[in-house]
């Protein structure tokens, strides 16, 4: 080849260790941070990245992919080692284009009158109920969201007084909150951020404490799920909103006190992701005290926060802290059937499965994923943690576990039947 010729980009393919270093750097993580989350010393990460040790086994590779939020397995290991397997992003719902079009559009030129505010409020309440009770909640929301978003946008534009406009902005923020549940884990990260930001702007315009709390709760989750480089942003939103809400809580409505409790747990969740055990459990305790002061049987309409959810939240903290034995104990203690929301119950089952998997109870983990599928098939279909367990167990040396994992892979759409 002539020295002036363009080099072949595939002549010297990027090694696995180089890929790990690139993704780690993009996430803003140090070798020490990655090593701590993996349970290794920083020297182990250095050996991986420099290629002085062989590529780790699949369980370790999947854990690295989870921490670094790598979307496709072959992006991490190289196309020559793996088929194209999505790890954390769902396949994309059939109704995503219609929801996207409604989010992207603005009703600037229309003669159609907005529905009455009370009518829109009833439709939003119905949508939340469907979101919690339907096994395939994205299917239901996909039908409801396009018109809900358009109509709440119209209501804002056609409001005739400051009071009406603020109430309409609160309704619009609520519609965006519903949309964020639909868009989460779909293959369009930019759309998720657009929804989160618009929801927060509408909530701030409304000056409604509950709307602001919900928008902050969702925005903090979007930051946290973007990886360690965004944990500070998640904390800032959570703590700023709690400081805003705390002076109002003395005589606040139940839903405002509940969203404050949900935000307290979010602070603990992010601390657990940082591996800060004392801080994580301290926030869990604070959220638990808030939950006990709510009416018995109460569940927040957006977050499901209440007394019944705290056991599930304890499982999440233990799992994120990577404490296998404690995770399994919390998973065995926490009741799933008391959680009224089907997608939230399925999410809890997935967290229980992660706990059992961490503790080496692989059969129980697979059985628990089956229970998650029974509660809400769409939830497990779009959950990266569940997909990771199934993918790993599909290579188990135990025939029964391989067979069960293969059956789950078909159920949740990872493989063709």
Cβ-contact 192, 180 below 8 angstroms: yes
| Whole-number Å distance between alpha carbons of 363 and 399 | 12
The verdict on residue 82 lying in a domain is no
Q: Is the dihedral of CA 404, 407, 409, 411 positive or negative?
A: negative
Same domain, 182 and 150: yes
| Whole-number Å distance between alpha carbons of 170 and 94 | 28
Q: Which of 284-288, 322-326, 385-389 has the highest mean pLDDT?
A: 284-288
Among candidate residues 207, 239, 255, the one where a domain is terminated: 207
The verdict on residue 250 lying in a domain is no
The verdict on residue 7 lying in a domain is no
Same domain, 130 and 69: no
Same domain, 55 and 98: no
Same domain, 200 and 148: yes
Q: What are phi and psi of 41, to 5 degrees?
A: -90, 155
The verdict on residue 9 lying in a domain is no
Q: For position 10, what pLDDT does the model report? A: 36
Q: Who contacts 377 (Cβ-Cβ below 8 Å, separation ≥6)?
A: 135, 136, 411, 412
Residue 4: pLDDT over 50: no
Q: For position 21, what pLDDT does the model report? A: 85
Burial of 222 (0-12, 13-18, 19+ CB in 10 A): buried
- List the domain range (segments joined by +) for residue 186: 93-207
Q: For position 201, what pLDDT does the model report? A: 97
- Model confidence over 34-64: pLDDT tens digits? 888 787 888 999 999 888 888 888 778 888 8
Among candidate residues 207, 224, 243, the one where a domain is terminated: 207
The verdict on residue 72 lying in a domain is yes
Q: For position 161, what pLDDT does the model report? A: 95
| Whole-number Å distance between alpha carbons of 169 and 328 | 43
User: DSSP characters for 397-416?
Assistant: SSHHHHHHHHHHHHHTTSS-
Partners of residue 86 on adjacent β-strands:
72
Displacement of CA 409 from its chain's centroid (Å): 21
Same domain, 64 and 158: no
Helix (H, G, I), strand (E, B), or coil: what is residue 72?
A: strand
Q: For position 11, what pLDDT does the model report? A: 42
Q: For position 19, what pLDDT does the model report? A: 85
- Model confidence over 293-316: pLDDT tens digits? 999 999 999 999 999 999 999 999
| Whole-number Å distance between alpha carbons of 69 and 23 | 8
Percent of the chain with pLDDT over 90: 58
Percent of the chain with pLDDT over 70: 92
Residue 253 DSSP label:
-
Q: Once rounded to an integer, what is the mean pLDDT over residues 246-264?
A: 96
| Whole-number Å distance between alpha carbons of 381 and 90 | 7
Cβ-contact 36, 45 below 8 angstroms: no
pLDDT averaged over the chain? 88
Q: For position 317, what pLDDT does the model report? A: 96
The verdict on residue 167 lying in a domain is yes
Q: Which two tokens stand for residue 285?
A: 């305790």
The verdict on residue 305 lying in a domain is no
Partners of residue 72 on adjacent β-strands:
86
Higher model confidence: residue 137 or residue 394? 137
Count how many domains the chain has. Answer: 2
CATH number for position 53: 1.10.260.40
Cβ-contact 326, 280 below 8 angstroms: no
Q: Once rounded to an integer, what is the mean pLDDT over residues 337-363?
A: 93
- Model confidence over 168-193: pLDDT tens digits? 999 999 999 999 999 988 878 889 99
Q: For position 156, what pLDDT does the model report? A: 94
Cβ-contact 136, 377 below 8 angstroms: yes
Among candidate residues 207, 226, 242, the one where a domain is terminated: 207
- Whole-angstrom CA distances from 224 to 65, 217, 327 are 16, 11, 21
Instruction: 55-58: list long-range contacts, CB under 8 Å, 24+ apart.
Output: 55/16, 55/81, 58/392, 58/395
Give the closest residue to 265 by CA, choosing from 248, 282, 250, 247.
282
Q: Which two tokens stand for residue 386?
A: 């569940």
Residue 332: pLDDT over 60: yes
Q: For position 1, what pLDDT does the model report? A: 39
| Whole-number Å distance between alpha carbons of 218 and 409 | 29
Q: For position 5, what pLDDT does the model report? A: 45
Q: What are phi and psi of 106, to 5 degrees?
A: -130, 130
The verdict on residue 353 lying in a domain is no
| Whole-number Å distance between alpha carbons of 346 and 135 | 9
Give the pLDDT band of residue 12 (cuts 50, 70, 90). very low
| Whole-number Å distance between alpha carbons of 134 and 283 | 31
User: DSSP characters for 15-39?
Assistant: PHHHHHHHHHHHTT--HHHHHHHHT
Same domain, 116 and 174: yes
Q: Who contacts 83 (Cβ-Cβ below 8 Å, separation ≥6)?
A: 74
Q: Who contacts 30 (Cβ-Cβ below 8 Å, separation ≥6)?
A: 42
Same domain, 71 and 97: no
Q: Which of 133-137, 201-205, 383-387 has the highest mean pLDDT?
A: 201-205
């Amino acid at each position: 080849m002539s020295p002036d010729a363009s080099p072949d980009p595939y002549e010297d393919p990027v090694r696995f260790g180089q890929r790990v270093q690139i993704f780690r750097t993009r996430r803003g993580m140090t070798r020490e941070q990655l090593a701590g989350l993996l349970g290794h010393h920083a020297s182990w990460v250095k050996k991986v990245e420099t290629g002085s040790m062989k590529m780790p086994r699949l369980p370790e590779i999947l854990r690295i992919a989870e921490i670094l939020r790598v979307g496709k397995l072959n992006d991490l290991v190289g196309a020559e080692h793996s088929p194209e397997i999505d790890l954390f992003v769902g396949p994309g719902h059939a109704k995503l284009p219609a929801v996207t079009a409604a989010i992207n559009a603005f009703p600037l030129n229309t003669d159609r009158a907005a529905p009455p505010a009370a009518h829109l409020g009833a439709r939003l309440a119905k949508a939340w109920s469907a979101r919690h009770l339907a096994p395939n909640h994205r299917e239901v929301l996909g039908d409801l969201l396009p018109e809900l978003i358009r109509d709440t946008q119209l209501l804002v534009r056609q409001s005739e007084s400051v009071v009406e406009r603020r109430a309409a902005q609160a309704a619009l923020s609520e519609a965006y909150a519903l949309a964020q549940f639909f868009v989460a884990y779909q293959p369009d990260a930019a759309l998720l951020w657009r929804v989160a930001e618009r929801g927060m702007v509408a909530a701030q315009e409304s000056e409604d404490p509950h709307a602001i709390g919900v928008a902050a709760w969702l925005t903090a989750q979007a930051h946290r799920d973007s990886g360690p480089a965004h944990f500070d942003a998640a904390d800032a939103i959570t703590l700023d909103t709690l400081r805003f809400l705390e002076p109002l809580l003395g005589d606040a409505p139940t839903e405002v006190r509940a969203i404050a409790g949900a935000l307290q747990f979010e602070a603990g969740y992010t601390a657990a992701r940082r591996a800060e055990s004392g801080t994580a459990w301290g926030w869990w305790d604070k959220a638990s005290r808030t939950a006990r002061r709510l009416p018995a049987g109460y569940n927040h309409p957006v977050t499901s926060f209440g007394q019944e959810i705290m056991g599930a939240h304890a499982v999440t903290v233990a799992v994120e802290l990577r404490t296998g034995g404690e995770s399994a104990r919390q998973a065995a203690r926490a009741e799933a059937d008391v959680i009224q929301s089907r997608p939230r119950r399925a999410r809890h089952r997935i967290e229980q499965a992660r706990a059992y998997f961490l503790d080496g109870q692989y059969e129980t983990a697979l059985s628990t994923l089956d229970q998650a599928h029974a509660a809400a098939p769409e939830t497990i279909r779009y959950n990266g943690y569940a997909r990771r367990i199934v993918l790993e167990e599909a290579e188990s040396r135990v025939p029964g576990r391989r067979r069960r994992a293969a059956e789950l892979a078909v159920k949740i759409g990872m493989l063709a039947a």
